[in-house]
Amino acid sequence: MPRHYQACEGPIDGLYLPQLAWDVFHRENIQTIDHLRAVAGQLERFEGLGPITMRVIRQELDRVAAPGEQLFQDGQLSAWGA
């Protein structure tokens, strides 16, 4: 799937996300990867995040997860997207 956004590194080291996501995280005071992981199943409640951005966030969390802890496989929705 082609990217229709410019991914950039933000205040959470190692994650590359659209600027929109970083702006929402700043507004919601999400400053750590642990906090982001804790709310990843509830991204729909954050105003301004659309379905594509939410999917990108969850995929990026899986990308940086330890082996065996990824929640997405082969593009299928996981518990993050339930």
Measured in whole angstroms, the distance separating CA 73 from the mean position of its chain's CA atoms is: 15
Q: Which of 9-18, 35-44, 58-67 has the highest mean pLDDT?
A: 35-44
- Residue-wise burial string across 67-80, b where 16 or more C-beta atoms lie within 10 A, e elsewhere: eeeebbeeeeeeeb
**Average confidence score pLDDT of the chain:** 82
Position 60 pLDDT exceeds 50: yes
| Per-residue pLDDT at 36 exceeds 50 | yes
- The mean-pLDDT minimum among 12-21, 51-60, 68-77 falls in 68-77
The overall pTM is greater than 0.85: no
- pLDDT at position 6, please? 76
